[in-house]
Structure 1
Amino acid sequence: MSHDAHAHDDKNNGIFKITMSLAITCFISGVIIAGAYAITEPVAAEQRVKAKNDAMKELVKDAESFKAVDGKEGWYAGIKGGKVIAYVVPASGKGYAGKIDMLAGVTTDGKAIDFKVLKHAETPGLGDKMVGDKFRKQFANKDPKDMEVVKVPTDKNIQALTGATITSRAVTNGVREAVEAVAAYAASQKK
């Protein structure tokens, strides 16, 4: 074998070794990533469930447990002593900077309890005040007909957040629609 042919074999051999080690590295990385995903995804899913349960518990404090409502996606019934005492349902409204995703707590006779904002992109310092107690407390025990945003405070309506009327309306409309949906559903259950 000439010196050149030997050098050529070594070169091919070197390329083969590099290719093999790359392939092995990629395979191992893939296994590690898939393994990490297999470990972290259930944890993330569990955290999402826990966050949702915590949010529901916050909205319906007296409930001992929550169970999914058949045929209603994302709806949960708050149970106490074997009886449904309230519902927690998804709500959303179109805010100033996009969709506002919420959960609304609603009594079985169709009154608002409270709401929790899950996701929003409203202006910091203005629109994000919707998560504050002062604004949220206005919803407690309200009928849908009283969920109207006003700029001048009244006893029965929802006073708009200063400088954030669009956000105030978005939240109010979202919660009102959720309360109306529960009221209709609860009425259909009584028949």
Structure 2
Amino acid sequence: MIFDRDQGRMVLAIVVVAVVAAAILGVTDIVTRGPITQAQKEALHNALTQVLPRHANDPQADLLSVDGVEIYPGKDALGNVLGFAWEVIAPDGYSGSIRILVGTKPDGKVYAIRVTDHRETPGLGDGVVKNSNWLQSFSDREVEGTRWKVKKDGGDFDQFTGATITPRAVVKAVAAALGFYNSHRQAIFDAVTQQNSDPEAAKVE
């Protein structure tokens, strides 16, 4: 196929526009990557402050990896563990996955939880973020002695009027998080011990 002069100019113009657009996107990514990363770090810091007891360390700097799960330890000034936090995902929310930061005490009881990302219906399912009394109802719960279901299903946790699926998903995910902690507790504390003696040796597979 032979292009005439006008067609050649059109093709050239399209190529130039594509190259310029790609360059702009690349520069934008480079310019915004740093601020976005910093904002995400600050948001995580704020969430960790809410789900961990008051601590002296930087949990993000002391990040542990145990069986593929990233765990943020809260420690006092002497390196003693005050609590742990990690993220779990409830895949069965009403409008999609719900990301939850779970904080526990060393004995495995819940210190606090916070939902960090969700797409639940405003005024209904978003009670998992806005209903402070409901969030507080998780504190001091542990695997044993708690019926990890909403009351509609015979459990210990309230559901929301017109929205049962969302709290049901969160309760299930938090219960799974505590189950993980109980089954990996020794490995987690071993990782802390390694970190206190050698920060580079904190990962456990």
Instruction: State the alpha-carbon separation in 1 of the partners of residues 161 and 141 from structure 2.
Output: 21
8 Å CA contact retained: 1:109, 1:186: no
Q: Could you say what secondary structure the match of 1:157 adopts?
A: coil
Distance in 2 between the 1:126 and 1:16 partners? Answer: 58
Task: Give the conservation status (yes or no) of the 8 Å contact 1:130–1:136.
Answer: yes
Structure 1, residues 31-54: CA drift from partner, whole Å, max 9, x if none? Answer: 332112111012212211221122
- The equivalent of 1:83 in structure 2 is 80
Q: Deviations over 1:142-175 (max 9, x none)?
A: 11231533438xxx93222333222222111111
CA separation of 1:96 and 1:29: change in aligned 2, threshold 3 A:
closer
Task: Give the strand-richer structure, 1 or 2.
Answer: 1
Structure 1 or 2: more helix by fraction: 1
Aligned residue in 2 for 1:6: none
Report 1:47-58 matches (<5 A): 47-58=39-50
Amino acid at match of 2:87: P
- Structure 2 residue corresponding to 1:36, chosen from 22, 28, 34: 28
User: 1:7 corresponds to which residue?
Assistant: none
Distance 1:73 1:187, change over 3 A: closer
1:95 aligns with 2:89: no
Query: What is the TM-score normalised by the length of structure 2?
Result: 0.73
Match of 1:45 among 25, 37, 40: 37
Which runs of 5 or more structure 2 residues have no equivalent in the other structure? 191-205
Q: Deviations over 1:67-123 (max 9, x none)?
A: 211334332111222122111111222222322111111111101111111222222
With the length of structure 1 as denominator, give the TM-score of the two structures: 0.77
Identity in percent: 23
Q: Does 1:162 align with 2:161?
A: yes
Cα RMSD (Å) of the superposition? 2.7
Superposition pairs for residues 109-148 of structure 1, below 5 Å? Answer: 109-131=107-129, 132-145=131-144, 146-148=146-148
The alignment of Structure 1 onto Structure 2 pairs a total of residues equal to 177
Q: 1:59 — aligned with what?
A: 51
